[in-house]
Structure 1
Amino acid sequence: MTKNKLAELMARSLKVREHIIRMTAGGGCFIGASLSCVELMVYLYSELLNIDADDLQNPARDYLFLSKGHDVPALYGTLAELGFIETARLQQHLLAADSVYWHPNRNIPGVEFHSGSLGHLPAVAAGVALDCKLKDQPNQVMVITGDGELNEGSVWESLLVANAYQLNNLTIIVDRNQFQANIRTEELIPLEPLADKFAAFGCAVRTVDGHDLSQLEATFKTLPFSDNKVNVVIANTVRGKGLPSIEARADRWFCAFNDNEILQLLEELHGNKEAIIESESLTVR
Structure 2
Amino acid sequence: MAEKLTQEKVSELEKYAQSIRYSIVEMVTEAQSGHPGGSLSAADILTTLYFAEMNVNPSDPQAVGRDRFVLSKGHAAPVLYATLAERGFFPKEELLTLRKIDSRLQGHPSMKNLPGIDMSTGSLGQGLSAAAGLALAARLDNSESRVYTVLGDGELEEGMVWEAAMFAAHYKLDNLTAFVDFNGLQIDGPISEVLSPLPIPEKWTAFNWHVILVDGHDIQAIYDAVQTAKTIKGKPTMIVAQTIKGKGVCQMENIADWHGKAPSREQCDLFLSQLNELEAE
What is the TM-score with the length of structure 2 in the denominator? Answer: 0.93
Query: 1:148 and 2:186 equivalent?
Result: no
- Aligned partner letter, 1:6: V
Give, in whole Å, the separation in 1 of the partners of 2:245 and 2:231: 27
Match of 2:68 in 1: 63
Query: 1:265 and 2:271 equivalent?
Result: yes
Query: 1:202 and 2:215 equivalent?
Result: no
Match of 2:119 in 1: 113
Contact 1:32 1:241 in 2 (8 A): yes
SS in 1 for 2:18: helix
Match of 2:20 in 1: 16
Give, in whole Å, the separation in 2 of the partners of 1:267 and 1:104: 28
Query: 1:135 and 2:135 equivalent?
Result: no
Give, in whole Å, the separation in 1 of the partners of 2:41 and 2:270: 20
SS in 2 for 1:171: strand
SS in 1 for 2:125: coil
SS in 1 for 2:257: coil
SS in 2 for 1:211: coil
- Aligned partner letter, 1:62: D
SS in 2 for 1:100: coil
Query: 1:6 and 2:10 equivalent?
Result: yes
Contact 1:32 1:239 in 2 (8 A): yes
Aligned runs of 1:33-44 on 2, under 5 Å?
33-44=38-49
After superposition, give the CA deviation of every residue in 1:192-247 in whole Å (9 maximum; x if it has no partner): 22111111111011010010011111111122352111111000000000011110
Aligned runs of 1:1-285 on 2, under 5 Å?
1-25=5-29, 26-106=31-111, 107-271=113-277
Aligned residues: 272
Which ranges of structure 1 fall in alignment gaps of 5 or more residues?
273-285
How far did residue 255 of structure 1 move? 1.8
Contact 1:166 1:229 in 2 (8 A): yes
- Percent identity, aligned pairs only, is 34
- Aligned partner letter, 2:125: G
- Aligned partner letter, 1:76: Y
SS in 2 for 1:251: helix
Give, in whole Å, the separation in 2 of the partners of 1:24 and 1:146: 19
Contact 1:159 1:201 in 2 (8 A): yes
Contact 1:29 1:254 in 2 (8 A): yes
SS in 2 for 1:221: helix
Match of 1:281 in 2: none
Give, in whole Å, the separation in 2 of the partners of 1:225 and 1:245: 40
- Aligned partner letter, 1:18: Y
SS in 1 for 2:47: helix
Give, in whole Å, the separation in 1 of the partners of 2:257 and 2:266: 20
Give, in whole Å, the separation in 1 of the partners of 2:115 and 2:165: 28
Give, in whole Å, the separation in 2 of the partners of 1:20 and 1:200: 36
